[in-house]
Amino acid sequence: GWQASTKSGSLSYILSCNRLPVQLISQVRVYTSNGQKKDLGSEDTNGATSEETLRKAGTGRQDTTNAGQKQPLLKEPIQVKVKAVLKKREYGPKYTKNNFITGVRAINEFCLKSSDLDQLRKIKRRSPHDDTETFTVYLRSDVEAKSLEVWGSPEALARERKRRKEAEIKYRENLFRNQRLLREYREFFGNTKPRSSAAAMFFKGPGKVVMVAICINGLNFFFKLLAWVYTGSASMFSEAIHSLADTCNQALLALGISQSARTPDPSHPYGFTNMRYIASLISGVGIFMMGAGLSWYHGIIGLLHPHPIESLLWAYCILAGSLVSEGATLLVAINEIRRSARAKGLSFYQYVVQSRDPSTNVVLLEDAAAVLSVAVAATCMGLTSLTGNPYYDSVGSLGVGTLLGTVSAFLIYTNTEALLGRSIQPEQLQRLTELLESDPVVRAIHDVKATDMGMSKVRFKAEVDFDGRVVTRSYLEKQDIEQLLQEIQQVKTPEELEAFMLKHGENIIDTLGAEVDRLEKDLKQRNPDVRHVDLEIL
């Protein structure tokens, strides 16, 4: 059992087995980093010294009659390990004033001139842009001091900022008027500038397909409209409406192609490539409302109020011409999609379903629907001619409307999926992942996302667990080892150690940033579709 003996200032618990007693002394001492010790107080009234703190008890069982007797204790030295740590620093606004600022921001935010920056300290830093390795930055504190020197006071600087802001707002308000005046000037004096890239897009690729379709469908609409006026056929009316819808939708596609060629600006940093998908989506909605809706309406009216149809000879001739012209446009679209699919390593069906080229897809589906609808209209008009029953013609109009509705539903679905930001193919994502994981500096990657931004542009994002040892070796390979050893040998105090670590720690962080830039550049070079890479350090 347990036996306890209580003394003034101490409490000892003695085990019944042959083990050392554990004695807890209430006296507390604090050992400082210089080896000194201070007594914070003691409850021992007998004045026991520190050497008498630990004593070894006898190995025999203690008798209850002499439990209060003191056992002889051996003197043992007390060993204390003191951990030296640096004082934690508080970083306030004064420290953050040493942040770097670019020359453009210094001029815009502090209302300075480029000549004012010539007198400031210039610091070379690693450039975040691919075209340059280094660029010049300035200390924010120097820029703030220079702005106060130029403007005299913070109030004067604030007034200048307000004045420039008002001037910028006024410029934006007058921008539309200036653009209109510029257009009038070009129309009056002639535009001698070379053909822009947006205009050149309509002479090759999807732009060429769209322009050919606009011309052919415009002519088809004109002749079909004349045939409907002459015959009064519901199927011919549906065909005329179909050609009009195709012409309007393809004009909308041409607008989307021209807008997608605009260069990125601060409001749209990733460009305007999605304008093609937006135009194709609106085109699908237009086909559904204008083409399918009017065809259904006219077919239902024909069923409710049938009327005899005049001679259909001219209608047959116009349908035959329309079949030839629509078929020619369809072949142009098919050849363009085959060429693009072959370049991407995809099948014809995959290229269409994934909506890789929305403008060409719209032309392909509209012309395919046009060829089929011509066949449906000709069949129903032939049955009406043979039987004299006008209901067949109305049923043909309903069939054409249903065909247009199916095409519009497919266009709406595929373009909506593209605008929502779908992922790339698993095989392509696996290639990008393996490329990163095969690099020695990468331990693992997590949370990988690769989004198809449209028109063969991919945005890749991943959280990367970097190997700090490889990064450090990469830094050491660029250093003079002898000089580095001399710097290490000169470190004697915590302050010198702190200065050494801060110097090389910042350089190692720069090396890590350079490794991130290298990985992003490799991804873009080996995968041309990848335009934007975001690697986050885990």
Give the residue extent of every domain in the chain.
100-190, 204-420, 426-537
Percent pLDDT > 90 in the chain is 8
Alpha helices in 261-389 (DSSP H): 275-286, 293-304, 313-344, 348-353, 358-387
Q: Identify the residue with better confidence: 19 or 306.
A: 306
- pLDDT reported for residue 11: 40
Measured CA to CA, the distance from residue 155 to residue 253 in angstroms comes to 53
Highest-confidence segment of 233-242, 246-255, 284-293: 246-255
* The CATH number fitting domain 426-537, selected from 3.30.70.1350, 3.40.50.10440, 3.30.70.980, 1.20.1250.20: 3.30.70.1350
- The region of weakest confidence among 24-38, 251-265, 394-408, 447-461 is 24-38
Nearest to 333 by CA among 369, 360, 372: 360
- The region of weakest confidence among 234-238, 395-399, 511-515 is 234-238
- pLDDT reported for residue 65: 43
Fold category of 100-190 in CATH? Nucleotide Excision Repair Protein XPA (XPA-MBD); B Chain A (3.90.530)
Mean pLDDT for the chain? 76
Q: Structurally, what CATH architecture does the domain formed by 204-420 represent?
A: Up-down Bundle (1.20)
Q: Identify the residue with better confidence: 393 or 65.
A: 393
Summarize pLDDT for 379-421 with one digit per residue, the tens: 888 888 888 788 888 888 888 888 888 888 888 888 888 888 7
Burial code (b: 16+ CB inside 10 Å, e: under 16) for 402-438 equals bbbbebbebbbebbeebbeeeebeeebbeebeeebee
Mean pLDDT, to the nearest integer, of 11-22?
A: 42
Tokens found for residue 178:
């200036």
Is residue 260 within 8 Å of 268, Cβ to Cβ?
no
pLDDT at 62 over 60: no
pLDDT category at 460 given cuts 50, 70, 90 is very high
Q: What is the pTM of this model?
A: 0.58
- pLDDT reported for residue 33: 44
pLDDT at 310 over 80: no
Highest-confidence segment of 36-40, 99-103, 518-522: 518-522
Residues sharing a CB contact under 8 Å with residue 212, sequence separation 6 or more, in sequence order: 329, 332
pLDDT category at 461 given cuts 50, 70, 90 is very high
pLDDT category at 90 given cuts 50, 70, 90 is low
Q: Which amino acid is at 414?
A: T
Which residue bears the tokens 């992922």? Answer: 423
Alpha helices in 388-476 (DSSP H): 391-419, 426-437, 468-476
Q: H-helix or E-strand containing 134?
A: strand 134-139
Nearest to 219 by CA among 243, 250, 238: 243
- The region of weakest confidence among 111-115, 363-367, 439-443 is 363-367
Q: What's the Cα-to-Cα distance from 530 to each of 259, 345, 519, rounded to whole Å?
A: 22, 16, 12
Mean pLDDT, to the nearest integer, of 492-497?
A: 88
Mean pLDDT, to the nearest integer, of 38-54?
A: 41
Q: Identify the residue with better confidence: 291 or 71.
A: 291
Nearest to 498 by CA among 89, 94, 98, 86: 86
- pLDDT reported for residue 94: 62
pLDDT at 272 over 80: yes
